[in-house]
Structure formats: structure tokens, C-alpha cells
Chains A and B, each alone.
Chain A
Amino acid sequence: MRKALTISFLAIALFMIASPASAQGSGMSDKAVAYIAAAFGMAIASAICGLAQAKATAAACEGMARNPGASDAIRFALILGLALIESLALYTLVIVFVKVG
């Protein structure tokens, strides 16, 4: 909880530092904002995808360790889950390519 609060305060501070740039009007063009936003968007998507896949892999490893007989079924569920989670990060990549070209 405390960590989440710290991170959200840091994010708010970052936005407040960035706002004078938009107040100027001649600071950043639309294209520049698109590039920065694309990079941040892709980074956030990949990070959360990494977290989710780590959780899935950890659960699969533990399941296989506890019950080696069910290895095949667990492996199938693991591969299916990883591919579906991966596809969410890839949707973000497609948006990046569409917006940034």
C-alpha cells in the first residue's frame, strides 16, 4: 500500500514537471508527443506483461513440482496462458506502429 502511494505521488510529480511544456505552446510538436507517449505506452505494457507471465510461470512450476503426473496438462495450460498474455502486449505494439509509423 505504502509502495503504491509512493509510486503514485512520484507519477503526479512527474506530470506536474511536464505540464509547463504544454503551457508554452511552442515546446513540443504533436509528433514529438506521439513518440514519447508511444515509448512509455510500450514500456508499461511490456512491464505488466512481464509481471503477469512471471506469475503464470511461477504457478505452473509449483503445480508441476507438486504433481509431476499432471505435468502435461499444466504445460499445455502454461503455454496457452503465456501466448494469450503476450498478445496483450503485442496489441500495444501494433498501436505504436500505427501511430508512429
Chain B
Amino acid sequence: MPPEHELWFTKILNDVLGGAANSLLETLHIHAENAARPIPNYVAQEILVALIIVVTFSVLRSMLSMDKPGALQHFFEIFHDFTKGQAEEQAGHHGHAFVPMVMTIGIFILLCNLIGLIPSFEAPTQNIQVTLGCAFIAFLYYNLQGVKAMGLAKYLWHFTGPVWWLAPLMLPIELFSHIARNMSLSVRLYANMFAGEQVFLVFLHLVPVGIPVIFLGLHLFVAFLQTYIFMLMTLIYLGGAAHHEEHAEEEAHTP
């Protein structure tokens, strides 16, 4: 593997925080690949995205207004309404409780994908570590919500399927398919971003000017689409995991 080209932001972080990062890793008994530059590119870009999100939302919060909402507030209102609509469609009446987490994941992944389009930055989601982290967070979240909604025993019981005598067959299949959800969420995002970049580089190698712009456009479209797919799959898993006791409610509502 050729040594990774270091981006300017990574260089700044390594110069300033290199020692601190090394001591943090030593306390966890992890050895960095390259002790002189312990912070790899993707961690630096993730930190940058987190900083951008924090600054944007601090500014937005101070600018919130009911009478004259600005463009930024409009954008996030549209995003919030869209996510809430999807959540209520996929996860039922209690879907609105899942919106904050899903929207956070969505904004983070969207900004991570989009930052890859700017010349001296790299999309952290091009690395399997980052996407596996996001997928694992979603996995933990939907399992926790399922346990919270139905209780631990009932939640584990619903892995056994519709009838009790299929349980020895259904249980391993269900467990395996839940673990495979991690893989599919992470690899889908990673492969889309990574392949988009590789295809762009191949065409840049062939035709230096003009044609590669088409692939940048494709990367832009795929960035939005994959964010939406990640959020949608998380909401679908949440809907599947967190069946509240809706049957009694539905019977009370129907005349």
C-alpha cells in the first residue's frame, strides 16, 4: 500500500494534536500505524465534518425565527419534515421519536459524502471503518429501541418467527440476517463512495479535462441518494423492531 497522501487539514491536526492522540492511543493499548502522524485522513475529515455541523447549528439556533426564516432554517425545516414523514410512514405513529437520531445520522453522512467533492478534502465515508461505525450506531439504536418498546424477553422472542415449531430454523436465520444488516448498510455506502472516486480517477487518467466532470455529477447524485437510502433502511429496521402495542390502540380508534 503506498503511503497515504496527507491532506492539509490532517497535517494541521497531526502537528497540533499528534502528541495528545498518541497518548490517548497508548492508554487504550493501540499502536498507530505511523507513530509520527497518528491521525489518519479519514479521522481528520470526520472531525472537520463534526466541527462544521456544530458551528452551523450554533449559528442556526441563534438565527431561528418564526416570522422571517432564513434560507438555512428553511432547508433544515424541509429536511426535518421529510424525515418525519418517512418515519411515520415506516415506523408507525411513534415514528416521530426516532427522527432526531436518524436525522443526525443523515446530516453527518450527507456532509461526509459531499465533502469529498471539494478538491483538497476527502470523503471519510470512502473508508470501510467510517461506514461500519455509522452502520453499527444504527444497529445499536434500532436494537435498543426495540428492547425499549417491547421489553427484552418479548424482543428476543420475536426473533423466533410466527409459529413456535419453526423456532429452531428461524432463530439462526433471523440472527444472521440481523448481523448481515450491518454489513449491507456499511458496504453499500462504502462501495458507492469508493467506486465513485475510483471511476472518477480512472477517467481523469484517460481524459484530463471535461469528461470527469460527469462523474463528479454522478458522485453528487449518489451522495444524496445513498444518504437517503441509509436513513430509509434505518427507519425500516426501526419499524420492524419497535412494534408498540398498537393493536389495542387501533381497535380503540376504529368505530
Instruction: List residues of A whose CB falls within 8 A of some B CB.
Output: 79-80, 83-84, 86-87, 90-91, 93-94, 97
Instruction: List residues of B whose CB falls within 8 A of some A CB.
Output: 184, 187-188, 190-192, 194-195, 225-226, 229, 232
Residue in B190, B194, B226 whose CB lies within 8 Å of A83: B226
The reply to whether A90 and B191 contact each other, CB–CB distance below 8 Å, is: yes
The reply to whether A87 and B191 contact each other, CB–CB distance below 8 Å, is: yes
A91 to B232, CA, bound (A): 19
Chain A residues touching B, majority SS: helix
Known: A87-B191, A91-B191, A93-B195. 10 other contacts (CB 8 A): A80-B229, A83-B188, A83-B225, A84-B229, A87-B188, A90-B192, A91-B187, A94-B191, A94-B194, A97-B194
A97 to B187, CA, bound (A): 12
Residue in A79, A80, A84, A90 whose CB lies within 8 Å of B187: A90
Contacts of B226 in A (CB 8 A): 83
Give B253 Cβ to nearest chain A Cβ, in Å. 24
Contacts of A94 in B (CB 8 A): 187, 190-191, 194
A87 to B194, CA, bound (A): 13
Contacts of B195 in A (CB 8 A): 90, 93
